[in-house]
Amino acid sequence: MKLIINTSNLYVGGGLQVALSFINELKALNNSHEYFIFLSSVVEKQLDKNSFSDKFHFYTIEKSPSSLKTRKQVVSQLDTLEKKIQPNLVFSVFGPSYWKPKALHLMGFADGWVYNQKSIAYSKLSFFKRMKMRLHTRYKAYYLKKDADYYILETQDAKEKIIDFLYIDSENIFVVGNTYSENFNNLTLLAEECSFYINLPKKDENEFRLMYIAHNHPSKNLEIINNVYSLINNKKIKFILTIDDESYNSLFKDKEYIVNIGAIEQKSCPSIYAQADALFAPTLLETFSAAYPEAMKMKKPILTSNYSFATDTCRDAALYFDPLDPQDIANKIKQLIEDKNLQTELIEKGNERLKNFETAHSRADKYIKICENIINTKEKENV
């Protein structure tokens, strides 16, 4: 079978990390498929193409199809490549792809803003930004439904909400859970001499580090850190973030309790976890956050929002707080710092909970099996 794997629209965030993990895992799958992989410039930069066999063919798509400025040009390029390749199916790892192939089109989707229209995250936006976000999500929803034939979502909850929101036939939606990247199994990435290892500043005595690898989306609720820190007596706390400089400067006036390292490559993530004491995720909206299994894998206790997307994923392997209540957050942070037994308990429960998640390999295998089943079903229908 000829499969196009489309990542031309992925530039930041969890979708980018999943795409990189998936493409790398394809090398280990025992099948005879031929893969034609469309790469965004960011995906291409983080991929070692020389490590793939000759059944993999790579095409770098220099501009994004999501931009109205470049869409016509990019879609024309994608159409030309598809016509030349004649694939059995196109799998866009995450959408919207803003491109409708002629072949069967399977699309992943994980933007909770689109199908959680009543989320508290909307209340954190100004009136203008809230209206803009609602228009933007409707725009995405239009292309999501228009451009794909089948969908992969990360949770059953997301599937049910998408069905209600977009009126998509449930038989055309598949669920494959998220997980941590295979990079978290690569011990060489934890060696200080490794080029991907990021050395954080030396710890002060009794310093407790709360880390969160995330971009500054409104749903991440990072500004709450300012109010939380002022309520904590223990001033040895540091928050480790990975946001852009503009966001860093606009969110935090007092920077003594923030260590911001900016955007990092996927292979650098394990080194950040290794130097932290706990995951701190005050997020308001997720489909599935890979940060949870990543923290479990790296044996770090989890502090996070008491919302269903977190509790369904972590169960009893996290300490929960109200993400809109700085005092509650501060109390839970102090509780975790002061209770070493609680830290150990959460780590142990996280280790058990981790057994329920996909691995990077099993996720990739399920993705390809879904592609195969769609193709085989369609071929039988056409006989």
The DSSP 8-state label assigned to residue 191 in this structure reads S
Same domain for 227 and 161: no
Same domain for 195 and 168: no
Q: What confidence category does residue 88 fall into, taking pLDDT thresholds of 50, 70 and 90?
A: very high
Q: What confidence category does residue 330 fall into, taking pLDDT thresholds of 50, 70 and 90?
A: very high
| CA triple 102-105-106, angle to 5 deg | 175
Same domain for 344 and 367: no
Judged by DSSP in three states, 227 sits in helix
**Mean pLDDT, residues 112-122:** 89
pLDDT mean across residues, the chain: 94
Same domain for 144 and 244: no
Residue type, 240: I
Q: Is the pLDDT of residue 314 over 80?
A: yes
Q: How many domains does the chain have?
A: 2
pLDDT of residue 233: 76
Same domain for 363 and 288: no
Q: What confidence category does residue 76 fall into, taking pLDDT thresholds of 50, 70 and 90?
A: very high
pLDDT of residue 60: 96
Q: Is the pLDDT of residue 337 over 80?
A: yes
Helix H segments across the chain?
A: 13-25, 41-45, 68-85, 112-115, 127-147, 156-166, 224-230, 245-251, 269-274, 291-297, 308-314, 326-338, 340-353, 360-381
Give the CATH number for residue 343: 3.40.50.2000
Q: Is the pLDDT of residue 383 over 80?
A: no
8 vs 149: CA distance, rounded Å: 18
Same domain for 89 and 20: yes
Same domain for 166 and 307: no
Which domain does 209 fall in, by range?
184-356
What is the dihedral sign for C-alpha 123, 127, 129, 135? positive
Q: Is the pLDDT of residue 234 over 90?
A: no
- 7-21, 129-143, 216-230, 284-298, range with the lowest pLDDT: 7-21
155 vs 209: CA distance, rounded Å: 30
Q: Find how far residue 43's CA is from the centre of its chain.
A: 14
Q: Is the pLDDT of residue 245 over 90?
A: yes
pLDDT of residue 143: 95
pLDDT of residue 91: 98
Same domain for 336 and 373: no
Same domain for 242 and 128: no
Q: Is the pLDDT of residue 137 over 70?
A: yes
Same domain for 141 and 82: yes
pLDDT of residue 124: 85
Q: What confidence category does residue 180 fall into, taking pLDDT thresholds of 50, 70 and 90?
A: confident
Q: Residue 44 contacts by C-beta under 8 Å, 6 or more apart in sequence? A: 58, 60
Same domain for 343 and 265: yes
Higher pLDDT: 205 or 342? It is: 342
Same domain for 365 and 352: no
49 vs 268: CA distance, rounded Å: 19
Q: What percent of the chain has pLDDT above 70? A: 100
